[in-house]
Amino acid sequence: MKVTDKLLQAHETADLPATFSFEFFPPKTEQGIQNLYDRMDRMYHLNPTFIDVTWNAGGRVSKISNDIVNTCQSVLGLETCLHMTCTNMSVEIIDTALREAYESGCQNILALRGDPPLDAQVDANGQLIHKGEFQYAKDLISYIKKQYGDHFCIGVAAYPEGHPEEDNCDRVIDYLKEKIDAGGDFIVTQMFYDVDNFIEWCHKLKAKGIEAPIFPGIMPITTYASFMRRAKWSEIKIPQGFLDILEPHKEDDFKIRELGCELITKMCKKLLDSGVVNHLHFYTMNLEKATIMILQQLGLVTPEVNDTGLTGGEILPWRKSLNPNRTNESVRPIFWKNMKFNYIVRTKDWDEFPNGRWGNSESPAFGEISLFDGSLLRHSGKKLLELWGRPQTMKDLSDLFIRYLNGDLAMLPWSDTPINAEINSIKQDLITLNEKGIFTVNSQPAVNGARSDHPIFGWGPKNGYIYQKQYLEFFMPRAKLDTLRANIDKINRIENCGTNDDYKVLAFFAVDKNGGLQTNLKNDSVPNAVTWGIFPNTEVIQPTIVEKTSFLAWKDEAYHIAQEWQMVLKQGDDGSIDLLGKLLDDYVLINIVDNDYVGENKIFKLFEGIDCL
Amino acid sequence: MKVTDKLLQAHETADLPATFSFEFFPPKTEQGIQNLYDRMDRMYHLNPTFIDVTWNAGGRVSKISNDIVNTCQSVLGLETCLHMTCTNMSVEIIDTALREAYESGCQNILALRGDPPLDAQVDANGQLIHKGEFQYAKDLISYIKKQYGDHFCIGVAAYPEGHPEEDNCDRVIDYLKEKIDAGGDFIVTQMFYDVDNFIEWCHKLKAKGIEAPIFPGIMPITTYASFMRRAKWSEIKIPQGFLDILEPHKEDDFKIRELGCELITKMCKKLLDSGVVNHLHFYTMNLEKATIMILQQLGLVTPEVNDTGLTGGEILPWRKSLNPNRTNESVRPIFWKNMKFNYIVRTKDWDEFPNGRWGNSESPAFGEISLFDGSLLRHSGKKLLELWGRPQTMKDLSDLFIRYLNGDLAMLPWSDTPINAEINSIKQDLITLNEKGIFTVNSQPAVNGARSDHPIFGWGPKNGYIYQKQYLEFFMPRAKLDTLRANIDKINRIENCGTNDDYKVLAFFAVDKNGGLQTNLKNDSVPNAVTWGIFPNTEVIQPTIVEKTSFLAWKDEAYHIAQEWQMVLKQGDDGSIDLLGKLLDDYVLINIVDNDYVGENKIFKLFEGIDCL
């Protein structure tokens, strides 16, 4: 979606004092990128109108910018704006970047000239001799308009305190006007601290007939050194008041951040009060704390983020992808609930969501997942060894699962994110299972009509009700499967379910590494909705299902994760027992649904008398 | 579905002593056909495996047979078998009848030779000279096979006591064998009373290698005269025991039916005990009482038919159409709930049910209904005047609605069927509204998770839960609409619903004769599921919706009904006030949904202070 439309929408539907956005830059290492994703994922909850991602020359780094844009759009549900510089850039590089942005569903480009290369030549008149097709940002703007019509919303950079290469402020505004006339839709300014000058400058733009919305660039103050360095580098004025307050504490980083936060907050308030802007654009420098502090002091973030990781108002219990190929997606299998990055990557070719429904999972495109890029290996082996050590026995493995359930471990091989409060009501039961050597990888408790604004289970629009069927997924030794089946059959008989029909209260799927499948369902290809919501004036929304084909796909991934972990443990191993080989060979992956979300839960009763340690 | 498959299925899934089927014949008058439909509709609840419909020569009557088959398949949800006779029949007539049966979703034909015409000629050898393409039933069977492959399941007639034209019983069995060999799949026998002979005959068929299932033709005894006449006409033996019991009471019809029921029940028991058959085929003569008595005495009907008119096990709260064009239909608008015949007819071109879903009601095929065949005029004006008299005032109209709600009137212009127990919990509220001159045409109470076997609200497979949002639809003077709107807004505000969003607890649509529409929804084309069910191991089923486009279509019909009634009243009118003209011009049709099925119902509170009489 275009940021100008998002802004209009945001200011129309809520009485906000201001909207805001975050700028990030592509980190240099793989681990840095993963850390940035985790950070962006957290900052999503602050509800930025968009984020933008800087771009640097061609080659590897611009590719990474595009990858980040794609991840933000597809996985994180963050609306993005991609920076693009054009000077000394080949048309091919520009074309590639635009096409990839387009395919990711990105609709916003910040069109920049970019810095001239260090070896730039100057002609007889002192003008830079540019290489490539584009000399100025306006050339890039025209090119984007020619290639993509009105698809992209185009931002342009502006310099409230003049451009380093041009002292005449009026002329700088004229250049800006040219960019707007070429097709610029919004203005992002360089950082500044002189608010009076900025407000005056905004009035000048108005006077010149520039009506595009202006997003002032706000740079939080984190350390005294970086504050001074950046101001100098950008050739901007530091008000004496800033120096008077900060200088005495320049050795105390903590104090500087605190005082900086106060100064910037005051500055933002003055900006908003002046009425010249209603949006703040934060240069985060890939850090979150300082920006969050300012937003909190401005009263722009509501601290109530609910436990499912949604900020409220979302239509689904998971974050909707902004990638155009997934726009209609309204159903996901439960299996990747704790592995949301992987789900999007693995299922990108599952293009069968007619009407946003699960549709026919027998279609050939379903269930084929690509495992070429590792699940665990997005983290370094070193990090994984630090996290989980070198388990020697099934008891050690069991301890890891229990530490995770207790919140003492931030992730497990089969769970990307820390345990959340959703499972509090069944946590003790889950711990008991793991103590018996039944390794629980996924679960949800039954919910019988929680309000849609429930702090733990709520999602979707207001005035609705949320339901869940209890779900449990775990690894268990194959040798115990017959006993479990018998226990399932017994309860189904007590619940008066025929063995010959599919309306059984307890249903299970069990599968081993090689795909050997057992189930107590006759027609095993019907999706079972395990999470649904009832809302005013619409159809029932049923976003989470348990379904065979996708379970088999998840099985591939779940065992692949075990193999990856096995590889990590084998590196520099002292010859201890191959625990994960045992898990891979002797354990089956099982899921159980208790279809009776109204009556007493029955799943944990199934394990009485089963001990696997 | 083929009757042989239905039989296998029925005997596989339930431990039934026997299945059964009913034969009907096409009545001679339009009113007779309507009465038969009502009877079939009632007899549906007895759960016959199929019904069959006789056919008589070409022309009008065979057309009626096809119409009945189509109505049974499409509207009544009854699996049909169409009789066809072939002697002296043109290929065109056969082709037409087969094609129409095919298009109705009928998959069963009872292929008969038929009686020779009265003016039939005999050749030198005493053989009948036949006209047309077909001489014997086996010719028709071959023809059907040639034209339709295995689409049709073909039944053949058999004569356990010999054929009137052939005394040699063995030869009659040989003829039967020829029909089976030509492609006959099941055998329907002529009526008989001599069970010993029948059992012996069945053994003879087995000995001759005839393995097709045999459906013995059972003719209930209704009067002594008809009993004697039919036996004589069919040239079958009446056991002396029958005569001894019946003859003394031959003047007492009531007693004859009672005794006849005992005799036939005993006969059926003996048949079933013998093991030669597991299915009974009743010649109903278009009557229901005698057949039902026998079925009850045999213990083949379970008296517990639930109030929604379903016999249990149906997947939806309305009867699923067996017409192939509607196979995927899983959603219906609520508006025709009391007019199920009309719904099928009106919406036959609404062919947009992708995946059985409501889909895009903005599609051009939606909402166009054909009103050429009247809704009321399927009944005679005389009958309607008898039913409803000549209301002179709105108070008279109000009295009619109240009599209907109290069960003292079997139908209303906008309700085809008597009031049912579903509305008991809101009946007094409905009566109060009608007393105020607010004419309620459709409603359902809120249901928050009734079990799917609930005697009143239950539908769908077992172990499920049923939900409903409260719904009310009514005619009210346009002049009162503003007050009602204000009351709706007030409650929505109390319930904390923004006026600017679509998550309001109370939503309404109001429309006048000319289509002038008011609603408090911004996006008014989203379907609102008002009935849904949660079942084990499947998706949520949401079969009933409230939706704008179909409401506008129903509006056309609802006002058209008023016009038709107006026409009836104008015939022979004494010049009284044109009450229905007033309804047509000054009243709006309104529907309200209370989306909060969990909390207290709010709809009836909206009318405090509104009086329209």
pLDDT confidence tier of residue B77, bands split at 50, 70 and 90: confident
pLDDT per residue over A369-415, tens digit each?
555 555 565 667 788 888 899 998 999 999 999 999 999 998 899 98
- Is pLDDT of B351 > 80? no
**B502 with A537: Cβ contact below 8 A:** yes
B357: nearest CA partner in chain A = A355
Task: Say what the pLDDT of residue B311 is.
Answer: 42
Whether A529 and B540 lie within 8 Å, measured CB to CB: yes
Q: Do A537 and B495 touch (CB under 8 A)?
A: no
Subunit contact B528:A539, Cβ cutoff 8 A: yes
The confidence band for A126, taking pLDDT boundaries of 50, 70 and 90, is: low
Residues in chain B: 613
- Evaluate whether B401 touches B434 at the Cβ level (below 8 Å): yes
CA distance A363 to A282: 45
Output the pLDDT for position B198: 96
Count of A-B CB contacts under 8 Å: 126
Task: Report the gap between the CA of A503 and the closest CA in chain B (Å).
Answer: 5
Residues 6+ apart with CB under 8 A from B389: B396
Which of A505, A521, A536 lies nearest to residue B505, judging by beta carbons?
Answer: A536
Pair B147, B139: CB distance under 8 Å:
no
Query: What is d(CA A111, CA A406) in angstroms, rounded to the nearest whole number?
Result: 48
Main-chain dihedrals φ then ψ at residue A531, nearest 5 degrees: -140, 130
Q: With an 8 Å Cβ cutoff, are B596 and A463 in contact?
A: yes
A500/B463 Cβ within 8 A: no
Instruction: Report the gap between the CA of A420 and the closest CA in chain B (Å).
Output: 26
The CB-based long-range contact list for B224-228 (8 Å cut-off, 24+ gap) reads B224/B249, B224/B250, B224/B251, B224/B253, B224/B256, B225/B250, B226/B285, B227/B256, B227/B260
Is A419 in contact with A438 (CB distance < 8 Å)?
A: no
Beta strand pairing status for A19-24 and A50-53?
parallel
Q: Which of A12, A23, A235, A557 does the annotation list as catalytic?
A: A23
Q: Chain A: residue nearest B492 by CA?
A: A463
CA–CA separation, A132 and A117 (whole Å): 12
Question: B312-345 pLDDT, tens per residue?
Answer: 445 677 777 777 767 667 778 888 787 777 777 6
Q: A23 catalytic, yes or no?
A: yes
| Chain B residues touching residue A500 (CB < 8 angstroms) | 13
User: Which residues of chain A have a Cβ shorter than 8 Å from any chain B Cβ?
Assistant: 13, 354-355, 357-359, 448-449, 461-465, 467, 495-497, 500-505, 507, 521, 526-529, 532, 534-540, 542, 545, 593, 595-598
The predicted structure's pLDDT at residue A354: 37
| Mean pLDDT of the region A562-577 | 78
At B263, the pLDDT band (50, 70, 90 cuts) reads: very high
**Continuous segment of H or E residues that includes residue B189:** strand B186-191
SS3 A517: strand
Residue pair B134/B140 in contact by the 8 Å Cβ criterion: yes
Say how far apart CA A464 and CA A480 lie, in whole Å.
Answer: 41
Nearest-CA neighbor of A603 among A389, A432, A467? A432
Report which of residues A143 and B333 the model is more confident about.
A143
Query: Mutate which of B502, B539, B541 to disrupt the A interface (most A C-beta within 10 Å)?
Result: B539
Q: Which residue of A has its CA nearest to B331?
A: A539
Query: For residues A205 and A217, what is the distance between their CA atoms, to the nearest angstrom?
Result: 16
pLDDT at B158: 94
User: Catalytic residue numbers of B?
Assistant: 23
CB–CB contact A540 B527 (8 Å): no
- The whole-model pTM stands at 0.73
Rounded to whole angstroms, how far apart are CA atoms B505 and B503?
6
The pLDDT value given to residue B356: 44
Task: Give the residue on B whose Cα is nearest the Cα of A331.
Answer: B539
Return residue ranges of chain A for CATH 3.20.20.220: 3-308
A359 CA: distance to closest CA in chain B (Å): 8
Instruction: Please give the residue that has the higher pLDDT: either A500 or A162.
Output: A162
Number of residues assigned to chain A: 613
Interchain pair A463, B497: CB under 8 A: yes
Nearest to A507 among B467, B521, B537 (CB): B537
The pLDDT score that the predictor gives to residue A221 is 92
Q: What angle do CA A81, A85, A90 make, to 5 degrees?
A: 120
Q: What is the DSSP annotation of B555-566?
A: HHHHHHHHHHHH
Q: Which residue has the tokens 């844009």?
A: A69
- Residue B535 to residue A595, Cβ atoms within 8 A: yes
pLDDT of res. B309: 42
Query: Two tokens at A477?
Result: 């030794």
Spatial distance between the Cα atoms of A603 and B604, rounded to a whole number of angstroms:
43
Chain A residues whose beta carbon lies within 8 Å of the beta carbon of residue B529? 534, 538-540
Q: How far is CA A431 from the centre of its chain?
A: 29
Q: Do A467 and B355 touch (CB under 8 A)?
A: no
The pLDDT mean for chain A works out to 85
Band of residue A309 on the pLDDT scale cut at 50, 70, 90: very low
Q: Name the residue in chain B with its Cα closest to that of A495.
A: B463
* Cα A346–chain centre separation: 16
User: Looking at the partner chain, which of B357, B496, B536 has a beta carbon nearest the beta carbon of A507?
Assistant: B536
Q: Are B463 and A502 contacting, i.e. CB atoms less than 8 angstroms apart?
A: no
**pLDDT above 90: percentage of residues in chain B:** 50
Contact by Cβ (8 Å): B503, A462: yes
Q: How many CA atoms are closer than 13 Å to the CA of A561, on its beta-carbon side?
A: 21
The model's confidence at residue B372, banded by pLDDT at 50, 70 and 90, is low
Query: β-strands B186-191, B153-158: how paired?
Result: parallel
Q: How far apart are CA A413 and CA A565, in angstroms?
A: 8
Among A426, A402, A385, which Cα is nearest to A592's? A426
Tokens of A375: 């699940």
| pLDDT of B362 above 70 | no
Testing the interface with A: which of B535, B537, B594, B595 to mutate, by most A Cβ within 10 A? B537
Q: Mean pLDDT across the stretch A37-63?
A: 80
Amino acid identity, residue A385? L
Q: Span A510-527, mean pLDDT? A: 92
Of the two residues A14 and B528, the one the predictor is more confident about is B528
Contacts of B595 in chain A (CB under 8 A): 463, 535-537
Look up the CATH architecture of domain A3-308: Alpha-Beta Barrel (3.20)
The mean predicted confidence, pLDDT, of chain B is 86
Tens digits of residue pLDDT in B87-117: 888 888 899 999 999 999 999 999 998 876 6
CB contact under 8 Å between A505 and B465, yes or no, is: no
Band of pLDDT at residue A353, cut at 50, 70 and 90:
very low
- Partner residue opposite B526 with nearest CB, options A497, A500, A538: A538
Q: H/E/C letters for each residue in A371-389?
A: CCCCCHHHCCHHHHHHHHC
Give the mean model confidence (pLDDT) for residues B349-356: 47
Classified as helix, coil or strand, B131 is coil
- Chain B positions in Cβ-Cβ contact with residue A545 (cut-off 8 Å): 539
* Single-letter code of the amino acid located at A485: R
Measured distance CA(B213)–CA(B21) in Å, rounded: 13
SS (H, E, C) B388-416: HCCCCCHHHHHHHHHHHHCCCCCCECCEC
| Inter-chain touch B537–A359, beta carbons under 8 Å | no
Interface probe for B, chosen from A9, A467, A537, A598 (most Cβ of B below 10 Å), is A537
Distance (Å) from the C-alpha of residue B93 to the closest C-alpha of chain A? 42
* A462 contact residues in B (CB cutoff 8 A): 496-497, 501, 503
Q: Measure in Å the smallest separation between the Cα of B520 and chain A Cα atoms.
A: 11
Distance CA A472, CA A605 (A): 12
| More confident position, A108 or B87 | A108
Name every residue in B having a CB less than 8 A away from some CB of A: 13, 354-355, 357-359, 448-449, 461-465, 467, 495-497, 500-505, 507, 521, 526-529, 532, 534-540, 542, 545, 593, 595-598
The residue of chain A nearest to residue B13, with distances taken between CA atoms, is A500
